[in-house]
Structure formats: structure tokens, C-alpha cells
A and B are shown apart, each in its own frame.
Chain A
Amino acid sequence: MTHTIRLNVNGKEHTVEVSSRRLLVDCLRYDLGLTGTKEGCSVGVCGACTVLMDGKPISSCLALALFADGKEIVTVEGLAREDRLDRVQQAFIDYGGFQCGICTPGMVVTAKALLDENPDPSVDEIKEWMMGNLCRCTGYYKVIESIQGAARQQRKAGDSDEGL
């Protein structure tokens, strides 16, 4: 059975025909062509498929596309503004927060949500928040440094240009 859903992805409205069992990750990747969101484990453990739904991180491999009807979704493609990287994205480059990059879309989206909620997270708070994002390359040390770096940058810039 197919359904028509309307969802807002990275600020853009989409109307999509999906089957009842279409997963959000497949809808984003194959119906909308947004392949930045990755699928790793398919069981909600690795976090590579993380997107923000109404500001909260979710595993898009566990969510049906139907759940996104009427919702606002932010994927990794929606973080940079006018070719300027989000601070979290820039910090992951500067501090070596990725190597192969397959977990990175999920990592930066999750980290972005953390800093939106808590602009000055402690290492323990970072670990608690990022626990659902697996990375096999970095050993996570530089993921933590990246998030701390982004947080510092964000605080230094103040609230004047929030979102950048």
C-alpha cells in the first residue's frame, strides 16, 4: 500500500509517494537522492543514519518514512549554510574527528543537536550523548576534541550568529 507524505527536509518541502514499509533512510537516500545519510547496521545501533526530526536525533533506519509525515527533518546536507560549513563540521575537519567518514554524517548531526541543547558540554556529557554513534576509525578521542572545539568556537562567537 502506498501513501502520500509531506515532509520538510533541510528547509525544503517534499511530497513523496511511499509504501507502508518504506524506511525513512531509504526515502531520504533513494526517493529524495540525499545520500549523505548513511546506512550501517540497519538496527539502530551504529548511528550512521542519524537525522534530526523536529530537532531530535533519530535513527532513520528504524523509522518508517510515514513517521516523517508533517515533520521537519535535518540531514547532514542541511548543516552548511551558503557554502559555509557549520562549526561542528569545520571542527571535525580541524580536529581529525573522522577518518573514513562513513559515520561522520550521523556524528555531526548528533553533535549539532547536542550543542543546540547544551553549548558547553563536559566530556562525560559528550560521551553520554554520542554513545549511539559508532566510529571504528578514530577511537573517539578526536570526536570528543572536535565537539569541544566546536563548542568553544560557538561560545566565542556568542549568540549573535546562532546557527552558523
Chain B
Amino acid sequence: MSYGKIGQRLGRIEGPAKVTGEAKYTADILLPGMIWGKVLRSPLPHAKIVAIDTREAEQMPGILAVLTAKDLPDLLTGRLVYDMPVLAIDRVRFIGEKVAVVAAEDPDMAEDALASIDVEYEEMPAVFDAHEAMNPEAPLLHPDYRSYAHAPEKFFSDIPNVHSHVTWELGDIDKGFALAKQVFEHTFSTPAVHQGYIEPHASVVAIDPDGRVNVWISNKMPVRARELLADVIELPEERIVVHLAQIGADFGGKGSLMDAPLCYHLAKRTGRPVKMVMSYTEELMAGNPRHPTSIFLRTGVTEEGQIVARQAKVVFNSGAYAAFKPVPFVNIPGAKDAAGVYGTPHIRIDAYSVYANCVPSGHFRAPGDLQVNFAVESSMDMIAEDLGLDRLEFRKQNLLKDGDWVPGGPQLEEVRVAETLAAAVKASSWNQPKSQPNRGLGLAVSHRLIGTGEANTQLTLKEDGTIQVLTPVPEVGTGAHTILQQIVAETLFLPLDQVRVETATEIFKTDSGSGASRVTYVGGQVVQQAAGELMKLILAAGAKGLGCAENEVVFEGGRVVRSDSDGSLSLVEVAKLGGDGKSALRVKKLLNLSEGPPMTTFTAQVVELEVDPETGQIRLLDVVTAHDVGTIINPLGHQGQIEGGLLQGVGFGLLEELRIEDGQVSTLNLGDYKLPNIRDIPPLTTVLVEEELGPAPFHGKAIGESSITPTGAAIANAVYDAVGVRFHDLPINAEKVYWALQQHRGGKG
């Protein structure tokens, strides 16, 4: 198929605003009389709060309010389960938990006042490791978990501190292992990593004289944020307006209220607009990083090398609160991929999300997928070696096929994993003889189901003949607004600049926002359907204006044209006619997709690297990333998603670790927490295995959470190929490689 607007390589519609500094992010909102809020955080991982003395702070210059839990409603909040206080109530559960908040004329004054707040704590026994937290003698973080609002009973567990236990099953696991000739057991772990968006969380609240609460918040699901905020500040939703600002990237991490409830309480107390911006140190200490995870795999393989059984136990360290988990089972969805891209008849996966006295974990691009894929794809190489099989052939023999089921997913159609893997291998030096010592190749394959949920839009034919597309989805950086514009323009046969995408929240009641690779699929469909309906209204109004029947007009060259004569109307003229002579032509639509398509998307990567045996330094020589894609709506944005995700995968594999010792994050600034910089990028080849059969509009597929997933495993497998050392935990940094090589040589010597 060839399209007009779909497939064009387009710069962003918000581009000029972003390159000139005109684009406003939440921290850029300046309001008359605005003051600043800052929080005091707990220095202890688990303690009773005996007393808080704020008297001195209240007397300091420029201080307008000091609040503690006793000044707030006795309520908890969270993205699904309400288990987290706005300010600690009687007890702190992690280092960095908010204990008191100060409002001041400027942020320096607020900081100064924090130092004068005196908190008396009584330390309690703490537990930091998720496995230790599951022991019977471990201190319980939330003895009342079962009574929390929205805690899903179906996933309760009797294991201490486990707030969610989810099981995915296919076939009969015992039967599967009975069929196996050999059984392998492997354990892996991955650390907490931060999303690394450069914009720290920010919130602004201003209360109008009539009581309307205006909120600006770096949140990717503003309609849901309004609902959550209404609950925790005890106001009807109608009183709250969430204004959309640009979001300085999300990567899954910006779905919570963060400091917005505190801004509200300070605004209410002081009568002034209040801004709170987290420092990056606060982000690293108390953001919502990717879950530290341990993955145990048990794999049954037949004599012929067929995988017949996969058991997995995935333990996620949830941190002190489950509040940052949005999914109904309050666990991490990626665990369901513990059989990887391999057709396995008998599967049992148990995922445990466990409270511990650490920073609460949240969602980060492809949540759980990276952790589990690192384990699965590392184990594939290990099993192949043990069986004396070629690691590529072993994979090929076991790949998913049409008609296979995946845990927590559909029976698959149009499975294109073999083609994707072949494309990655072909574009790499896989089949060339090994060149030099200390160099190695690794590969890994992943898949990702497309996200479901709710999406809204309202389309209006404006008097100037343009189409206004209202969406409650903020632009988090993915290029979503440009894609919505393309889809509407394509559907209505209009030039791109005749379609204006704007944001609004007030007119929509519920919406899933941006996430789960959902927007092009669900949000794209809702604007496509609404555009189709708007076209019908335009034709009807045009026909009426031209004095003929609806089936006697067509839409051509941006005009409603009578097919039997010269009569025609421009969109400006149609807009003036309106629907019934008065009202604008308008379609408002909500689409709720609860079930995804019977299709998934595959990614295969090959990494070639070199290990410096003296220093342990790893240099990536070549990365090939191959993707199973449908129609590409905006090639520029699509490739941007691949490249950005890939480098985050490189960070996960080689560099990034939020180091936490006894509950204390020790990498507290971006100097210590190393994000990949421009010199860390590897030579990259992208291969797109295209076929027009995706479930999104115009047969597109999702791409946002694809390239990030297999990189960690591909790196680990390449390191093993290079120097014969198998890493069971990430990241594989130079220090770790150095010591492992020392040990390896010692062992051999």
C-alpha cells in the first residue's frame, strides 16, 4: 500500500517550540506569587516517628508553612494499591521517605528551614533483600496490607512481605519435566536502575478563588492522575483541572502523583501557587527505579534438544511501597516472558513482588522484560553449551511458531521470529571465523505484546477549515502527537498542517495515557475511527449545503464536491454550515481495548565486543538490532525509538546500577550514577523486517519497548564468547570483569 502522510519522515510538530526553548515543562510554569515547597526525607530505613518539632523552622525568614502528617488527611495513595502516605504517618519505611514539607518564598529558604526540623526516631529492624524479606522472621513492612484500598485479594500471599504473587501457567509443568532428558537450573539477578530522564519530577498547584484546583504535573497519564489526586486530597474530580505541559521524558517512570498532593496542601494552607521540583539526588534516592530482580529458571530439555518445560521464579524487590505499580495484579508484567521466544508446552512462572526497606520500585520501559530476558537468553547459551549444541541452532530449533501460546498472552498468529533472527545474524559477522582473542559475539532475542487500554479523542472541524484533534495524552517525547496528526490527515485526505493536535483533559473522564507501547495502537485507532466519523458528518453537512443527497457528494481536494455537477464547498464553508446550522461538526470518542491482538513483535540483536584483559574494559565493536515491524508511520520517530532504547539497553548491560547498601542509595548524582554519554555509543546497524500486518492503524506495530530488551543478554553472551566468563548479574562493568578474569586465570593456573 502506498500512503500520503503515513510513512513520511517527519520532524516533530512540537519541534520549533522545543529547539527555541519556548516549550514549557512543569518546572517552567511561572505564576504570580508562586512559592516553593521542599521536603524533609527520612535518614533511616525503618523507624517509628516519635516526635517532630517544626517550631524553629516555622519562625525562619521566608517560611510560609511547615506541614507534617498530622496536618493532612489520614489517607494513602498509589497508582493502583493505596499503600503510601503523602507524608510518613508514624513510621518511615525507607531512606528518602517524605516526613515533612516546607513552603517558602524561594527554594534556598525552604532548604535552610528543612535543616531546622527536629525529628525523633526510634529505629526498627529493617530488611533490604527481597529473599530475606520473605523469611518468616523478617520484619513486616505492611502488616495491614490486606486492608489497603484496591489491594487485589486474588494475588495475596502468605509469604511474609509478599504483596503480590502471580502465576502464569501453560500445560502441566510436572508432565513437562517428566518428558525431559536433562534439567538445568540457573539463577540470575539485576540491580535497580533509574529511568534517567533528564527532567526530574515537578508539580505545580494553584487554587483559584472559586476553589478550582489547577495542576501541572510531569505525569504521562493525566486523566488518571486527576482521579488519584481527587481521592487523596478529598475533592471531587470536577474541581481539579490538570494542565498538560511537556514532559522531559518518562520511560515508564512518570505515572504517579509524586509531590502534587503536597503542593495542593501547601497551596491551600498559604493561599499561594506552589511549585515543587525534585532535585536529581531526590530522584535517585526516592524516584521509582526499575525493580531489582532475581530470576530462577529451571528448564527441561529432551534428548533432541527440545525445550519441554520451563519453570521460573521471579522475585521483584518492590521496595517500601507498591504505590508505583499500576497494573491490576500489582506485580511486574515482564515476568510472564520467562519462557522467552521459545515454544514451550509446559510452563509455570511465579512472580513475587516483595516489600523491603528500600526505595519503592516502579515501571521503567519494558518493565520486567529486560531482567527476565537477560536470564532466559543467558541460559539458552549455557544450555546449548552443556548439550554440545550450537547456540544459534539450539534457539532456531525451539522458536515460537504460529499457533503457539505465550504465557499471559494470546495464541499467536503471524509469528516472525525466525525471519527476525535470521536478519540479525545475516547483518552481523556471526558466520565469519573468530577474528581475534578477547573478542566475542553474543545474540539474544525477545518479544513484546502490544499494550491495551483506553484512549480518547475529540475531533472538531474548526471555522478556519482545520481539524482540531484533542488528546489527553501528553507528549512524553515519543512523537505521539505527530503520529496522531499523520493518522488523522491520512484518514481525511488533508495536508498535515490542516490537522492540529492539541491537549485537553477536562472533557475526558478516563484514559490510560501513554505507556505499554499503547499510544499508536489504541490512541491511533481512536483518532482514526473518529476521523472516519467526522468525515461522514462533513459529507452530510456538505450535501445539505449543496442541496443534494449524501450519496451524491464526495470529498476531493479538501472540498465536498457534488458528483453530478460543479457545485462544491470548502471545509471553511462546511464549518460555517455546521451540523444543524449552529453547532460545530464534532466527534468525541472513547475506545477501550481490553484484549490485545493475537500477535507479538520480535527483536533479535547480535553484539560483537572486545574485552581488555588487563583492565576489564568492554568495547562494543558492532551491534545489530533487527525488528519485526509493520507499516512504519514516521520513519524518523521509529528509528529514534530503536536507537534510544538500544542505548538504554547498553546502559543496563554495561554501566547502570543504583547502588543500594543497607537501604541507602549511594549513587546520588549523575556523576556517580553513570548514564551512557555520546562516546559510549556503539556502531549500530538496524535491520527492519517489514511486512504490512500489524494491529495498529495502517498495519503498524509497536516499537517503543523493543530494542531495549535483549541488549543486556546479548552483551553477557558476547563476554562469555570473548573471555569464557559467565556473568549471572548485571551490569557487566569493567571492575567486575577485571576481578572475574583474575579469578578465572587463578582457577586455571
Find the B residue at minimum CB distance from A40. B198
Inter-chain pairs besides A41-B198, A43-B669, A101-B14, 10 sampled, C-beta below 8 Å: A36-B21, A38-B199, A75-B21, A95-B636, A96-B637, A104-B19, A131-B677, A139-B640, A140-B681, A141-B681
Question: Are B640 and A99 in contact (CB-based, < 8 A)?
Answer: yes
Stretch in A1-9, A64-72, A76-84, A156-164 with 4+ CB within 8 Å of B: A76-84
Total interface residues on A, CB under 8 Å, equals: 58
Question: Are B21 and A41 in contact (CB-based, < 8 A)?
Answer: no
Question: Are A138 and B280 in contact (CB-based, < 8 A)?
Answer: no
Stretch in B38-46, B184-192, B473-481 with 4+ CB within 8 Å of A: B473-481
Given contacts A39-B27, A137-B644, contact A99 B478 (CB under 8 A): yes
Question: Are A108 and B19 in contact (CB-based, < 8 A)?
Answer: yes
Given contacts A38-B198, A40-B200, A134-B198, contact A98 B19 (CB under 8 A): yes
CA separation between A103 and B22, bound complex, in Å?
13
CA separation between A161 and B18, bound complex, in Å?
24
Within 8 A of B (CB), among A108-154: 108, 126-128, 130-144
CA separation between A89 and B670, bound complex, in Å?
26
A-B pair number, CB within 8 angstroms: 172
Q: Point out residues on B near A: beta carbons under 8 Å.
A: 11-12, 14-25, 27-28, 30, 108, 195-200, 246-251, 277, 279-281, 475-479, 636-637, 639-640, 643-648, 669-671, 675, 677-679, 681, 684
Q: With a CB–CB cut-off of 8 A, which chain A residues contact B30?
A: 30, 33, 35
Residue in B198, B279, B479, B636 whose Cβ sees the most chain A Cβ within 10 Å: B198
- Contact among B18, B108, B640, B671 for A142, CB-based, below 8 A: B640
Question: Are A141 and B648 in contact (CB-based, < 8 A)?
Answer: no
Find the B residue at minimum CB distance from A90. B19
* Interface membership of A21, Cβ < 8 A: yes
* Interface membership of A94, Cβ < 8 A: yes
Pick 11 A–B contacts, CB within 8 A, sort by A: A40-B248, A42-B279, A42-B280, A46-B670, A85-B16, A92-B15, A98-B12, A101-B14, A101-B18, A128-B679, A136-B249
Question: Are B18 and A139 in contact (CB-based, < 8 A)?
Answer: no
CA separation between A103 and B28, bound complex, in Å?
14
- Contact among A36, A77, A94, A127 for B678, CB-based, below 8 A: A127
Q: With a CB–CB cut-off of 8 A, which chain B residues contact A75?
A: 21
- Contact among A93, A94, A139 for B644, CB-based, below 8 A: A139
Distance from A43 Cβ to chain B, minimum over Cβ atoms (Å) = 5
Question: Are B21 and A43 in contact (CB-based, < 8 A)?
Answer: no
Distance from A38 Cβ to chain B, minimum over Cβ atoms (Å) = 7
Question: Are A142 and B12 in contact (CB-based, < 8 A)?
Answer: no
Q: With a CB–CB cut-off of 8 A, which chain B residues contact A92?
A: 15, 19
Distance from A89 Cβ to chain B, minimum over Cβ atoms (Å) = 4
Given contacts A77-B20, A96-B636, contact A131 B678 (CB under 8 A): yes
Question: Are B20 and A102 in contact (CB-based, < 8 A)?
Answer: no
Question: Are B280 and A43 in contact (CB-based, < 8 A)?
Answer: yes
Given contacts A46-B670, A96-B637, contact A101 B246 (CB under 8 A): yes
Distance from B248 Cβ to chain A, minimum over Cβ atoms (Å) = 3
Q: With a CB–CB cut-off of 8 A, which chain B residues contact A30?
A: 30
Question: Are B678 and A143 in contact (CB-based, < 8 A)?
Answer: yes
Residue in B16, B23, B248, B637 whose Cβ sees the most chain A Cβ within 10 Å: B248
Find the B residue at minimum CB distance from A86. B19
Q: With a CB–CB cut-off of 8 A, which chain A residues contact B248?
A: 38, 40, 100-102
CA separation between A93 and B246, bound complex, in Å?
16
Distance from A52 Cβ to chain B, minimum over Cβ atoms (Å) = 13
* Interface membership of A105, Cβ < 8 A: yes
CA separation between A90 and B27, bound complex, in Å?
25
Given contacts A35-B30, A96-B637, contact A43 B670 (CB under 8 A): yes
CA separation between A139 and B251, bound complex, in Å?
13
Q: With a CB–CB cut-off of 8 A, which chain A residues contact B281?
A: 42
Nearest 6 Cβ contacts at the A-B interface: A36-B21, A100-B477, A102-B248, A101-B18, A139-B647, A139-B643
Q: With a CB–CB cut-off of 8 A, which chain B residues contact A21?
A: 108
Find the B residue at minimum CB distance from A29. B28
Question: Are A101 and B477 in contact (CB-based, < 8 A)?
Answer: yes
Q: With a CB–CB cut-off of 8 A, which chain B residues contact A138?
A: 640, 643-644
Residue in A42, A130, A138, A142 whose Cβ sees the most chain B Cβ within 10 Å: A138
CA separation between A134 and B680, bound complex, in Å?
11
Distance from B398 Cβ to chain A, minimum over Cβ atoms (Å) = 31
Given contacts A35-B30, A96-B640, A99-B640, contact A43 B20 (CB under 8 A): no
Q: With a CB–CB cut-off of 8 A, which chain A residues contact B681?
A: 139-141
CA separation between A38 and B246, bound complex, in Å?
13
Q: With a CB–CB cut-off of 8 A, which chain A residues contact B479?
A: 99
Find the B residue at minimum CB distance from A94. B11
CA separation between A33 and B259, bound complex, in Å?
23
Residue in A90, A101, A143 whose Cβ sees the most chain B Cβ within 10 Å: A101
Question: Are A79 and B684 in contact (CB-based, < 8 A)?
Answer: no
Given contacts A43-B280, A134-B675, contact A100 B11 (CB under 8 A): no
Question: Are A89 and B198 in contact (CB-based, < 8 A)?
Answer: no
CA separation between A139 and B197, bound complex, in Å?
12
Find the B residue at minimum CB distance from A44. B671
* Interface membership of A16, Cβ < 8 A: no
CA separation between A100 and B12, bound complex, in Å?
10
* Interface membership of A60, Cβ < 8 A: no
Question: Are A136 and B196 in contact (CB-based, < 8 A)?
Answer: yes
Distance from A80 Cβ to chain B, minimum over Cβ atoms (Å) = 5
Distance from A23 Cβ to chain B, minimum over Cβ atoms (Å) = 10
CA separation between A53 and B30, bound complex, in Å?
25
Q: With a CB–CB cut-off of 8 A, which chain B residues contact A134?
A: 198, 670, 675, 677
Question: Are A130 and B28 in contact (CB-based, < 8 A)?
Answer: no
